[in-house]
Amino acid sequence: MARIGVFICWCGENISRHVDVEKLAEQCAHLPGVRCCLTYKYMCSEPGQNLIREKIREERLNGMVVASCSPHMHLKTFRKAAEAEGLNPYLVEMANIREHCSWVHHDVKAATAKAADLIRMAVAKVRRNHALSPIRVPLTKRALVIGGGVAGIQAALDIADAGHEVVLVEREPSIGGKMAGLSETFPTLDCSQCILTPRMVEVGQHPNIRLYTYSDVEAVEGYVGNFSVTIRKRARYVDISKCTGCGACWNACPNKKTPSEFDFGMGKRSAIYVPFPQAVPARPVIDANACTMLTKGKCGLCAKKCAAGAINFKDQDELITEKVGAIVVATGYKLWDIGKEQENAKLAGYGEYGYGTYKDVINSLQFERLVSASGPTGGELRRPSDGAVPKTVVFISCVGSRDNAKGMSYCSKICCMYNAKHTMLYKHKVHDGQAHVFYMDIRAGGKNYDEFVRRAIEQDGAQYHRGRVSKITEENGKLIVRGVDTLAGEPVTIEADLVVLATAMRPADGVETLAQKLNVGYDEYGFLSESHPKLRPVETNAAGVFVCGACQGPKDIPESVAQASAAAGKVQVMFSREEITREPEIASIDERMCAACFTCVRACPYNAIERAEIRDRAGRLIKRTARVNPGLCMGCGTCVAVCPSKSAELEGFTEQQVYAMVESLG
């Protein structure tokens, strides 16, 4: 039998001014199932809660309704109070007679009548509530980090240093990401490799980190705390447990004409190669498309030179399964390749800049390699076409950023900063050279950032032109850059030796496919979606999956690192418990009723419903059914609404409860 307590709050005068609380209490005392009905000045206060607890005890209540403010405000408070008195917290409901009533309706009669309705609905509901207990799921305290750029490295080290095992998957032959190829970094101009490589080495040697390079995440199954990840280790043709990294092989390799990915095509590499000298692991891979032994069965020189016998031309991809409890995605970015044909009609590209046609029109990451001490020119700036030292260089900002018409509508955020850096690096290398920058606005927010840009202009003499470039043509070995300076109000034409395009920062290739495997959302550009832009910036809507670095949006190194540490922190919070507890207000399916149409399986936004089979003892199939995985269900109730056979039910919002609420209004 229902023994419901109704507790009506005055909220000082907030409620009582427009709702006649005493009259309300009289009416509600007679609602079916109601055992007692009380009012109090402040229900949420300590004496208010004590009053509730006293009544729970005295009247042996088996359900209660607090009529006060929004459940978003105090449902947890009252559920806790009930629990402390031994009443299951899920037998507590609220009627929102403040935000939805007294604060918005000032006619006392009407407001009191509405408040009565709201309480009546809550009582009708609570009579049909079930006692629930939090769902406990076991937790594997190991983390997967996808992507080994500076963000992934930071996240992996933080988690590993906290004492948890980390599986780090990087698709390139070495970790390091873009930062490993940068020359010097704004706003301090410290050498990128000098600060990054020690951290890379740390990852390589960390007892808690298992590193898979040249590998991809093939499949992800399971749910928060209990993911099972299949990793494809691509054939490397080099046994890295035998290899000593001596370099005999790549020195011997006769096929040295492949454009180096690490140098963004500015240099060449051999068919067997390490992407750069400080690579981690410092072990080569064979590029199966470039190696003539693998394509034509001819050569094998590297194998002959390898004293360790590490070369294995018969190597094959290997699939490995790893169990983890949390996943951090740090797949970073790429620069938009404006030269090639574009993947969709909206992106027209910027053919007028001649990227991909004129050798001396390059992008910013290529420029980084040309000024890097470890780059293909040994740090001497020489242009790609003829190796000459460029005396006039034009840097163009916002190529494809902030361009609704044919590019990305967002700002890539870091280009203003690295353009300033590039003009400085250029001036430090070519003292008699002149740098020009075309820009829309200078966005240099950040500690010491604006000062940095000013230095480029004032000390290093970069000429800044506010305006866009309309066209670049090539004449007699010069690049003719035509643009406008909107501040001077006149067209500008510059004869340049080298043009550097700050093309838009976009998410790494393949990120959408990965996001789908992880059930993580992404925006129209492919940047991964955080669960709340302000309050949950590194969580995603997939429980147990976190994001950091440039895969979530354009950002620089300090921000990527900060976000990576934040994601690692979230993982550690998760790992600080022995098991995961989840809200029990989730869906379930009546397996006897289920027609196995699997409409719900397709509708569930979290892939929380599986196709299952019911078998008898002898293993004969009795029937097929849908089954909710309590570790995955988030309780949206979509399955309940779509199920044609009415077999799905959502705790906390059961059909019975909801219908009872509507009926109570009749």
Partner 1 sequence: MTHKQPHPDPDMTTFEPKIVAYVCNWCTYLGADLAGTNRLEYPPNVRIIRLPCTGRIDFNLIVKAFETGADAVLVSGCHPGDCHYTSGNYHARRRWTLFRELLDTLGIEMDRIHFTWISAAEGRKWQQVITEITEKTRQMGPYLAYKRICRVS
Ligand X SMILES: Cc1cc2nc3c(=O)[nH]c(=O)nc-3n(C[C@H](O)[C@H](O)[C@H](O)COP(=O)(O)OP(=O)(O)OC[C@H]3O[C@@H](n4cnc5c(N)ncnc54)[C@H](O)[C@@H]3O)c2cc1C
Alpha-carbon dihedral 542, 547, 552, 554, rounded to 10 degrees = 170
Closest to ligand X by CB, 381 vs 557, is 557
Structure token digits, residue 296: 């034509």
Query: Using CB under 8 A, which of the segments 151-159, 204-212, 497-505, 650-658 binds partner 1?
Result: 650-658
Residues β-bridged to residue 320: 231
CB of 574 to ligand SF4, least distance (A): 20
Query: Using CB under 8 A, which of the segments 451-459, 487-495, 506-514, 598-606 binds partner 1?
Result: 598-606
* Helix/strand/coil for 485: strand
- Which DSSP symbol is given to 621? E
- The secondary structure element, H or E, covering residue 641 is helix 638-642
Judged by CB under 8 A, which of 380, 516, 605, 615 binds partner 1?
A: 605
Positions touching ligand X (CB under 6 A) are 146-152, 169-172, 177-179, 182, 185-186, 216-217, 330-333, 335, 364-365, 368, 414, 418, 421, 508, 510, 514, 549-550, 555-558, 560
Closest to partner 1 by CB, 110 vs 373, is 110
What gap in Å lies between CA 115 and CA 19, rounded to an integer?
7
Structure token digits, residue 640: 């309940």
Closest to ligand SF4 by CB, 549 vs 631, is 631
Contact 40, 51 (CB under 8 A): yes
Asked if 654 touches ligand SF4 (CB under 6 A), the answer is no
Residues β-bridged to residue 532: 536
CB of 136 to ligand SF4, least distance (A): 17
- Which partner from the list ligand SF4, partner 1, ligand X, none does 608 bind, CB cut-off 5 to 8 Å by kind? ligand SF4
C-alpha of 160 from chain center: 20
Closest to ligand SF4 by CB, 116 vs 587, is 587
Query: Using CB under 8 A, which of the segments 285-293, 409-417, 509-517, 653-661 binds partner 1?
Result: 653-661
Full strand arrangement of the beta sheet holding 392-399: 361-363, 498-503, 392-399, 434-439, 463-466
Size of the residue set binding ligand SF4 (CB under 6 A): 29
Asked if 632 touches partner 1 (CB under 8 A), the answer is no
For the beta carbon of residue 553, count every other beta carbon within 10 angstroms: 23
Asked if 628 touches ligand SF4 (CB under 6 A), the answer is yes
Structure token digits, residue 334: 């790429």
CB of 505 to partner 1, least distance (A): 22
Query: Using CB under 8 A, which of the segments 291-299, 421-429, 496-504, 654-662 binds partner 1?
Result: 654-662
Asked if 593 touches partner 1 (CB under 8 A), the answer is no
Residue owning tokens 């809660």: 49
Judged by CB under 6 A, which of 51, 416, 437, 643 binds ligand SF4?
A: 643
CB of 601 to ligand SF4, least distance (A): 6
CA nearest 334: which of 325, 345, 343, 324?
343
Residue owning tokens 């042996």: 60
Closest to partner 1 by CB, 416 vs 604, is 604
What gap in Å lies between CA 170 and CA 233, rounded to an integer?
10
CA separation (Å) from 178 to 20, 150, 160, 181, 622?
Answer: 66, 8, 22, 5, 55
* Helix/strand/coil for 535: coil
Cβ burial of 33 (10 Å; 0-12, 13-18, 19+) is middle
What gap in Å lies between CA 565 and CA 427, rounded to an integer?
35
Structure token digits, residue 451: 């000062």
- In the stretch 551-590, what mask flags binding to ligand SF4 with x, by CB under 6 A? -----------------------------------xx-x-
Judged by CB under 6 A, which of 636, 654, 658, 660 binds ligand SF4?
A: 636
- In the stretch 204-243, what mask flags binding to ligand SF4 with x, by CB under 6 A? ----------------------------------------
- Which partner from the list ligand X, partner 1, ligand SF4, none does 105 bind, CB cut-off 5 to 8 Å by kind? partner 1
Within positions 505 to 524, which residues make up the interface with partner 1, using CB under 8 A? 521
If DSSP states are collapsed to H, E and C, what string results for 272-334?
A: EECCCCCCCCCCCEECCCCCHHHHHCCCCHHHHHCCCCCECCCCCCEEEEEEECEEEECCCEE
Asked if 280 touches ligand SF4 (CB under 6 A), the answer is no
Closest to partner 1 by CB, 27 vs 258, is 27
- How do beta strands 184-185 and 268-269 pair? unpaired
CA nearest 484: which of 576, 396, 355, 574?
396
Within positions 592 to 621, which residues make up the interface with ligand SF4, using CB under 6 A? 594-600, 604, 606, 608-609
Judged by CB under 8 A, which of 83, 85, 117, 474 binds partner 1?
A: 117
- Which partner from the list ligand SF4, partner 1, ligand X, none does 597 bind, CB cut-off 5 to 8 Å by kind? ligand SF4
What gap in Å lies between CA 285 and CA 273, rounded to an integer?
6
Asked if 71 touches partner 1 (CB under 8 A), the answer is yes
Chain residues binding partner 1 by CB under 8 A are 27, 30-32, 70-72, 96, 98-101, 103-107, 110-111, 113-114, 116-118, 120-121, 521, 541, 585, 603, 605-606, 634-638, 640-642, 650, 652-653, 655, 658-659, 661-666
